Amino acid sequence: MAKIAPHDLGLQSKFRFAQEIVREVRKRVGDEYPISFKISAMEFVKDGINMEERIEILKILVKEGVDVIQVSAGNDATPEWISQPMFMEKACLTDFAWAIKKELDVPIMAVGRINEPLLAEDIIKAGKADLVCIGRGLLADPAMPKKALEGRLDDIRTCIACNTCMQSIFKKGRVECLVNPTLGREKEMAFHPAETTKKVMVVGAGPGGLNVAWVAARRGHDVHLFERQPHLGGQLALGSITHYKKELRKLIRFQTKQMERFGVTCHLNQEVTPDTLKNHSPDVIILATGSVPAYPQINGIDNALVIPIDAALNGHGQAGGKTVVVGGGPTGCEIALHLSEKGYPVTIVEMLSKPASQLESITQKMLLGKLKENGVSFKTDCRVIRIKENGVVIAEKDGGQMTLPADQVVFSIGNRPEDSLFNQIKSMGYKIHHIGDCLKPRSAKSAIYEGAVLGRAI
């Protein structure tokens, strides 16, 4: 590795501020107090400090009194390297820590999407770091270290790198978590045994249904969960098909483990009917049946070119080819990325001027960047007015029209509640609640939170 002379004025200008801080801190705390220093190994910007310079700077700072170094990456212009979204590999900064560890004789901390105990252990066993730093993982489950120590790995609520925590901090001024609705609400979300044990029927095994089921069961209720599909997870299971969202399976695993732990009885492959209600005689029914995709009332909507979202994701649609994804929200963009990675030419049609506008900013940046890399085209400020045998007719903002050739078309323009059971059950005199998308289509975060609240209230 090439050495950069400490007298180099360019390098000195880059470490002088840090050097003066370390000197002053050491002066104030004395020689026996350990000082930890966090550094960005790579900034990923033009003319940013590189690894060679970082190592030389750290050698100087160690002489000034730094005892432990935490190796991060990125800066304000590249926040995706500071709080890595799910598109990035787990432990993606570890090799930077390892490169620095080989050059310095002080303990090195690795950080960056280390969300599981076994992963942390592998990093240390491999000698790539002496310590690991876990941030978001401990927001998702503050009890992670204790559960790992006790061997309860399946009982850990794993961070899925959705960056809800970052978004909530900047937008609301407080930290929230998609997978852990109790974060920041520990007092109000405390568990208390139910005063009266009830037989609770939960209809739907999506994120809201799973959460309300085990929370209610933990409080002592006799909970029966009904799901018409042969598997648990609902929209979470569908969303986990893409490789960059496979972490959602760990959320399903966690919810499933809690249901097993607290004695929820699962009834899979079972449609709920009036006879089901009569046979089970529940005291309370919770409808968590989710939502179904919405479709516009336009000519050609029943054309064979139009395939449902699940078919597009699991490969049960047509044999690929030119694809038009109608709707450039988060789901539409994720579908487009998934199909573009299979080699299909994809065009996104979006009515707004900017795609994925509702998405958390760091994830949005990564997602749009990947779509661009894969050659996905965008038609913004446009709407679909007709489906033809060979393509999609769109209306542009200026009033013009054009046809986009297509072999398959996927609509992702939002959802409508699947609440057909609600009035029917209510008319039969049962006490009923509904949560999640069947109340109003929103997000998994909303469904999980509502399940957590209702499960503590019934």
Q: What is the CATH number of the domain that holds 335?
A: 3.50.50.60
What's the pLDDT tens digit per position in 178-214? 999 999 999 999 999 999 999 999 999 999 999 999 9
What's the pLDDT tens digit per position in 299-353? 999 999 999 999 999 876 556 799 999 999 999 999 999 999 999 999 999 999 9
Pick the last residue of a domain from 102, 134, 166. 134
Q: 3-state DSSP call for residue 268?
A: strand
What's the pLDDT tens digit per position in 366-402? 999 999 999 999 999 999 999 999 999 999 999 899 9
Residue 450 pLDDT > 60: yes
What's the pLDDT tens digit per position in 244-293? 999 999 999 999 999 999 999 999 999 999 999 999 999 999 999 999 99
Secondary structure percentages of the chain, helix, strand, coil, to 5: 40, 15, 45
H/E element holding 387?
A: strand 383-388
| DSSP labels, 274-337 | HHHHHHH--SEEEE---EEE-----BTTTSTTEE-HHHHHHT-SS---SEEEE--SHHHHHHHH
Q: Which residues contact 80 (CB under 8 A, 6 or more apart)?
A: 74, 88, 362, 365, 366
Contact by Cβ (8 Å): 437, 415: yes
Pick the last residue of a domain from 134, 165, 189. 134
What single-letter DSSP state applies at residue 183?
A: T
pLDDT score for 134: 97
What's the pLDDT tens digit per position in 305-317? 999 999 999 876 5
pLDDT score for 343: 94
The verdict on 407 and 389 lying in the same domain is yes
Total domains in the chain come to 3
Domain span at residue 214 reads 199-293+416-457
In a domain, 441, yes or no: yes
Over the chain, what is the mean pLDDT? 94
HEC profile of 10-74:
HHHHHHHHHHHHHHHHHHHHCCCCCCEEEEECCCCCCCCCCHHHHHHHHHHHHHHCCCEEEEECC
- Give the whole-angstrom CA distance, residue 52 versus residue 357: 38
The verdict on 86 and 217 lying in the same domain is no
Pick the last residue of a domain from 134, 162, 178. 134
pLDDT score for 8: 56
In a domain, 344, yes or no: yes
CA 232 to chain centre: 18
The verdict on 213 and 286 lying in the same domain is yes
Q: Residue 133: what residue type?
A: C
The verdict on 330 and 431 lying in the same domain is no
Show the tokens assigned to 66: 């730094």
In a domain, 183, yes or no: no
The verdict on 110 and 58 lying in the same domain is yes
Query: In the chain, pLDDT over 90 holds for what percent of residues?
Result: 91
pLDDT score for 6: 47
Show the tokens assigned to 421: 């059971």
Q: What is the CATH number of the domain that holds 57?
A: 3.20.20.70
What's the pLDDT tens digit per position in 62-79? 999 999 999 999 999 999
- Cα dihedral 164/165/171/173 (nearest 10): 160
- Helix and strand counts by DSSP (H, E) for the chain: 16, 19
Mean pLDDT of 136-141: 98
The verdict on 364 and 281 lying in the same domain is no
In this prediction, residue 13 has a pLDDT band, given cuts at 50, 70 and 90, of confident
pLDDT score for 318: 58
Q: Which of 419, 185, 443 is nearest to 286 (CA)?
A: 419
In a domain, 239, yes or no: yes
The verdict on 266 and 365 lying in the same domain is no
The verdict on 286 and 253 lying in the same domain is yes
- Give the whole-angstrom CA distance, residue 257 versus residue 120: 22
In a domain, 180, yes or no: no
pLDDT score for 49: 81
The verdict on 355 and 391 lying in the same domain is yes
The verdict on 52 and 104 lying in the same domain is yes
Least trusted range by pLDDT, from 6-15, 66-75, 112-121: 6-15
Q: Which of 433, 337, 443, 326 is nearest to 385 (CA)?
A: 326
The verdict on 409 and 421 lying in the same domain is no
- Give the whole-angstrom CA distance, residue 317 versus residue 72: 42
Where b means 16+ CB within 10 Å and e means fewer, 242-275 reads bebbebbbbbbbbbbbbbeebebebbeeeebeee
Q: What is the CATH number of the domain that holds 224?
A: 3.40.50.720
Strands 346-349 and 377-379 turn out to be parallel
In a domain, 340, yes or no: yes
Residue 109 pLDDT > 60: yes
In a domain, 157, yes or no: no
What single-letter DSSP state applies at residue 211?
A: H
Contact by Cβ (8 Å): 310, 316: yes
The verdict on 13 and 103 lying in the same domain is yes
Phi, psi of 288 (to 5 degrees): -135, 50
In this prediction, residue 2 has a pLDDT band, given cuts at 50, 70 and 90, of very low
In a domain, 338, yes or no: yes
In this prediction, residue 416 has a pLDDT band, given cuts at 50, 70 and 90, of very high
In this prediction, residue 1 has a pLDDT band, given cuts at 50, 70 and 90, of very low
